[in-house]
Amino acid sequence: MARPRLRPERPMRTEPAQRVRETAEGAGRRRFFGTDGIRGEVGLPPMTPEWVLKLGWAAGCVLGRDQAHRGVVIGKDTRNSGYLFESALESGLSAAGASVFLLGPFPTPGVSYLTTAIGAAAGVVISASHNPYEDNGIKFFGPDGRKLPDALEREIEERLQEPLKLVSLGTLGQVRRLDDANERYLDFCLASVPADMSLSGWTICVDCAHGATYRLAPALFERLGARVIPIGVDPNGVNINHEVGSLHPETLARTVLAHRADLGVAFDGDGDRVILVDAGGEIVDGDAVLYILACDRLAEHRLHGPVVGTVMSNLGLEESLRERQIPFCRAPVGDRHVLARLEAEGGVLGGESSGHVIHLDLSPTGDGLITALQVIRAIWREARPLSSLLSGLNRYPQKTVNIAWPRDCGLPDSQEMSPDLESARRLLGSPARILIRPSGTEPLLRVTVEGGEAGTLEQATRQLVERLTELRDAAR
């Protein structure tokens, strides 16, 4: 077989929908920053303690340029490597003259909130989100609580090429704990729902993925009066996301049924995603959450602009929203792209199938706790079970398979794949969508196939995966 032609990373889309333009121009020119900060295996470049120390210094020089006295907030998830990188970051930031406020294990959206709440120059999260514990990562927020623009990320990378220069001893940054962080963030979350909303009489199973929400999430729902059944709340440094949390909602589904709970809520390792489970044990993903929240906002005249999904969003979501006269548009995968599209279109609600949902009028970043509260608010306001709120949502069969794919390997040329794609389309019939794209956070190629019936969907997916695996192996 001839060696396959490879081309730069760009999703291979075969559905007839309009192409979505990348919103982060120049992202490909960044060496270390990906779609969600910097991420990699601990101990291998760039996730080494000496490199992260230099990163802290470079970020301190850029982000604290004229406001070093305002400090930088640092939170982390529960990976044991978080202690290593926390110390390295605070040393680098201090060397640049930036003071540091440590939060300890804390949800990513909570870091975003506290960055703005205390007027910090920046926020930093040490987390690899849904990745296994062997990985870790660093992501930054600006003083407005939003992910850094590409220009600032490139400037930090440029500063990394310079030798580390220590500020004068009298201006070294100081390090302290922010002792009231938990209470401030819980109050912020609770302010997003009516003050008279009570969950007295409810039983809620809460799966924290042994991650950053393990203290805060159970406390949040208990404050509202619910009986909480906690799982995934015993982090040991290496069990984050392991068979629990939003990556494995089947664990939560079993717990909901065993306790005859009213609802289940599962977060990912850093708390910016949430997946729900209804009383019957059915899993409610990010597409279903978007549908519920869009309909709830529409009923209360709180929906502005279009709902923004991604190229991964189920076609059934788009059609179901259209039936309610709710406009819908798609962005590339990644919360920064969803946010950019929301701002461009004047929208307030957007998200991903993974459960990463942005409520732009409540928070500038995806927040799993706030998303869960908004769904519960809809259930409480309608006085109907979660399953009933989904009665108008139609879904097409969809399957996503991950293939190990080296980071330096682009997508197979579309001409190389053309016969295989055409064969898959014939199996699926119409409507159908096929999306092949590289992961922005892991060395994987994600293959998503949508349409047809269960049997044809499995067959089409299997054929595509086999062909892509052949092309990958031949290209090595």
Asked if pLDDT for residue 409 goes beyond 90, the answer is no
Q: How, if at all, do strands 227-231 and 135-141 pair?
A: unpaired
How many C-beta atoms lie closer than 10 Å to residue 237's C-beta? 13
pLDDT at 67: 58
Catalytic residue among 91, 129, 354, 363: 129
What are the backbone dihedrals phi and psi of residue 337, each rounded to the nearest 5 degrees, phi first? Answer: -75, -40
Does 31-179 match 396-475 in CATH topology? no
pLDDT in tens, 136-170: 999 999 999 999 999 999 999 999 999 999 999 99
Average pLDDT over residues 43-64: 96
Query: Residue 92 burial by CB count (10 A; 0-12/13-18/19+): exposed, middle or buried?
Result: buried
pLDDT band at 14; cut points 50, 70, 90: very low
pLDDT grade for 29, boundaries at 50, 70 and 90: low
pLDDT at residue 416 in the model: 85
Establish how many alpha carbons lie within 13 A of residue 279's alpha carbon, considering only the half-sphere containing its beta carbon. Answer: 13
Better-predicted residue by pLDDT, 265 or 470: 265
Tokens of 306: 């279009």
pLDDT, mean of residues 291-300: 98
CA distances from 188 to 66, 196, 198, 351, 418 (A): 28, 16, 17, 21, 51
Q: What pLDDT, on a 0 to 100 scale, did the predictor assign at position 9?
A: 36
pLDDT score, position 143: 94
In tens, the pLDDT along 87-111 reads 999 999 999 999 999 999 999 999 9
Q: What per-residue confidence (pLDDT) applies to 34?
A: 83
Structure tokens at 416: 């190389």
Start-to-end CA span in the chain (Å): 13
Domain 193-389 has CATH 3.40.120.10: yes
Residue 193 has pLDDT above 80, yes or no: yes
Rounded to the nearest integer, the mean pLDDT of the chain is 91
Residue ranges in 346-445 assigned as alpha helix (H): 368-382, 386-389, 414-428
Active site residue 192: no
- The predicted structure's pLDDT at residue 69: 54
pLDDT tens-digit map of 340-375: 999 999 999 999 999 999 999 999 999 999 999 999
Query: Any idea how long the chain is?
Result: 476
Total Cβ atoms within 10 A of residue 179: 9
Instruction: For the domain made up of 396-475, give the CATH fold.
Output: TATA-Binding Protein (3.30.310)
The stretch 313-340 carries a mean pLDDT of 95
Q: What fold is seen in the domain 31-179?
A: Alpha-D-Glucose-1,6-Bisphosphate; Chain A, domain 3 (3.40.120)
pLDDT one-digit tens code per residue, 168-184: 999 999 999 999 999 99
| pLDDT mean over 441-456 | 89
Any idea where the domains of the chain sit in the sequence? 31-179, 193-389, 396-475
Residue keyed to tokens 């609580």: 145
In this predicted structure, what is the pLDDT of residue 442? Answer: 80
pLDDT at 21: 30
**pTM given for the model:** 0.88
**Which of the listed ranges 186-195, 331-340, 434-443 does the model predict with the highest average pLDDT?**
186-195
